Amino acid sequence: MVRLRVLAAALGVLAVLGTAVPAQAHEEKTGGITIVHPWSRPAAQGHNGVIYLDIHNRGEADDRLVAVSTPLATKVELHRSTMEEGVHRMEAVESVVVPAGGSVALAPGGLHVMLVDLKFMLMAEETIPVTFTFERSGAITTGVAVEVRGDDHDY
């Protein structure tokens, strides 16, 4: 029953966004913030998933990504991956600053969005609904493309 309610909520968000987001680059804007080509990898139900994207700030003041949410994960966190003395480490971060007139990349091996305890499998060529919330610019809900990429394996 819970699975059906979560799936219905996700489908409702996708209906508002459109039925699919192509695997090519796409953008969503709010205020001075533009989210460019958010994507995820396939992942199994009950495991963790990851989202990568570029964020551009055309505004005159810094903004901060302060929250990310989706009905498809139990919890969503902002993370940073680092490599220290040959050891891969990952830590949660409270927010991500997007400088005025600048951009920030959430990419493999660095900053990223962690989807904790997926409620459903993320399958290639699907689109998942995600809301990104910024301190100044507010919320942007968009579709995140699930893509298979063979060139990266790190969070």
Range of the domain at 30: 2-146
Average pLDDT over residues 123-150: 94
Q: Tell me the pTM.
A: 0.81
- Position 43 scores a pLDDT of 97
Instruction: Please check whether residue 59 lies inside any domain of the structure.
Output: yes
pLDDT per position as a tens digit, 79-105: 999 888 888 889 999 999 999 999 999
Report the domain count for the chain: 1
Are the CB atoms for 77 and 113 separated by under 8 Å?
yes
Instruction: Please check whether residue 73 lies inside any domain of the structure.
Output: yes
Instruction: Please check whether residue 80 lies inside any domain of the structure.
Output: yes
- Position 86 scores a pLDDT of 85
Instruction: Please check whether residue 19 lies inside any domain of the structure.
Output: yes
Give the CATH number of the domain where residue 119 resides. 2.60.40.1890
Instruction: Please check whether residue 151 lies inside any domain of the structure.
Output: no
Instruction: Please check whether residue 152 lies inside any domain of the structure.
Output: no
- Position 150 scores a pLDDT of 66
pLDDT per position as a tens digit, 20-79: 334 455 888 888 999 999 999 999 999 999 999 999 999 999 999 999 999 999 999 999
Name which residue leads in pLDDT, 74 or 153. Answer: 74
- Position 25 scores a pLDDT of 58
